[in-house]
Structure 1
Amino acid sequence: MRLVRRALPLVSAVVALLLACGRADAAGYRYWSFWERDGGHWTYATQGPSFVRPDDGTVQGFRFAVSADSADATRPRGTADFSTICADTAAKPGKKRVALVLDFGTAADAPGGERPPARHTACARVPAGASTADALAVVAKPLRYDTNALLCAISGYPAKGCGEQVSGAGSRTVSGKEPASGGGPSLGLPVGAGVVALLAGAAVWQYRRRRGHE
């Protein structure tokens, strides 16, 4: 099995490279994530707030944090009950009420020189056809968007920046984070294992082929 032994340094080098790539992928982004309340749990929204048209009685949330991707995104903290949030906002014909949870995150997630406002809730009463962005504009001005319509700031926070990359985000734990369903594991380890199997298999095949011609 000399060829297998000879292949091991190459295998080790490839795995080391892949693991390094996996660590690089741990870098995250500082941004506002958008969530929908479903059955007492937060679900990452599949559309932006400008496209979602919530029904009356809906609870939706926004969380500012550093996250690697949607599977790693940090959920809004605290309770999120429509009857509590909208207790003082009466229903009106032709209008709907949307309960919003606004979580500005932790000091660890804040851009340099900024301090996150306290988490709070709000009840937006808007026209029946209004979007979540419309509801947000009623209760959380000033809002800031970039040229691609990405939500950059709620109630003026943060004062600058929009979805900027933050290196090493995967190496720390964000307060209030719940386990993400479905997960989004780095490809470094599974791909590395696949390369090990592939190269080791090729080495064995070459060894057997050589023995067959002796």
Structure 2
Amino acid sequence: MTRTSSAPLRSPVAALLAVLLAASGVLLGAGGAQAAGYRYWSFWEGDGKSWAYATQGPSLVRPDDGTVQGFRFAVSEDSADADRPRHAPDFGAICADTPAKGGAKRVALVIDPGTTEDAPAGEKPPALRTACAQVAPDASSAEALASVAKPLRYDSSAMICAISGYPKSGCGEQVSGDGSKKDGSGKPTDDASASASASSAPAADDGDSGGGPSAGLLLGIGAVLLLGVAAVFQARRRR
């Protein structure tokens, strides 16, 4: 019996696999290209040892005497990805030189303008600093901040845009994965703006808006590769 050569068959199969692999690479590249973040001041609450992302905005929170709060300027994708202040939330150390006074409360503040990597183009972040605000008992966190870090700048949704004049412009603008500003409104979503007024940050998404490929994207890649394997199997059965 004459054996049929498999050379003509291998060429189309190899070409098919090459196309499938290329398609998978494009899909993975598209997933990575989605990575982006927001440049903003986030708001934190300290417990003496660690920082926790605030769930309400500084204009709504009315801290007790002895509270430690922090503000950090950085680029991050959402609240789960946000950078913490780079100073311990130590009330005793921050307010050591500010004695208690009747009719007032003390709030320790850590103001961290972040790094040059997160700074807007053409700007240099000032040095991290701490301050002990001594304010009225019913003062909000925003009022405590204003007493030690003017000028402050807000947008129309009460999101903190600048502390002590930094940065000079911009407010929660979206930036691409390489740090450059993206086109568009440059604002977080409505839910994110509420959290930003609350804590100056976009809220974490429930879906697949993170920096890596989404679950749907990975399923699509798997389906493409499965089709390729099936094609090879069918081709071999016909030999």
TM-score interval, normalised by the smaller of the two chains: 0.7 to 0.9
Q: Of 125, 128, 132, which residue of structure 1 is paired with 2:134?
A: 125
Deviations 1:114-145, CA, capped at 9 Å, x for gaps = 11111100001111111110100000000000
Q: 1:45 to 1:165 in 2, by over 3 A?
A: same
Pairing 1:24–2:49 present: no
Question: Could you tell me which amino acid in structure 1 is paired with residue 53 of structure 2?
Answer: Y
> Please, what TM-score do these two structures have when normalized by structure 1?
0.75
Aligned partner (choices 39, 42, 62) of residue 51 of structure 2: 42
Distance in 2 of aligned mates of 1:31 and 1:142: 16
Partner residue in 1 for 2:175? 166
Indicate whether 1:191 and 2:216 are aligned. yes
Where does residue 53 of structure 1 map in the other structure? 62
Aligned partner of 1:176 in structure 2 is: none
CA distance in 1, matches of 2:21, 2:141: 51
Total equivalences in the alignment: 192
Q: 2:80 aligns to what SS in structure 1? A: coil
Letter aligned with residue 26 of structure 1: A
Residue 18 of structure 1, CA deviation = 4.6
Question: What residue in structure 2 maps to residue 153 of structure 1?
Answer: 162
**Could you tell me which amino acid in structure 2 is paired with residue 161 of structure 1?**
G
Unaligned 5+ residue runs, structure 2? 1-15, 180-208, 230-239
When residues 17 and 39 of structure 1 are mapped into structure 2, their CA distance, relative to the original with a 3 A threshold, is farther
Residue from 108, 128, 136 that aligns with 2:117: 108
Whether 2:80 is the aligned partner of 1:71: answer yes
TM-score by length of 2: 0.68
Measured on the aligned residues, the alpha-carbon RMSD in Å equals 3.1
Considering Cα pairs closer than 8 Å and 6+ residues apart, tell me whether 1 or 2 has the greater RCO: 1
Alpha-carbon distance, 1:12 to partner: 6.7
Q: Any idea what SS the aligned residue of 1:139 has?
A: coil
Residue ranges of structure 1 left out of the alignment (5+ in a row)? 1-5, 171-183, 205-214
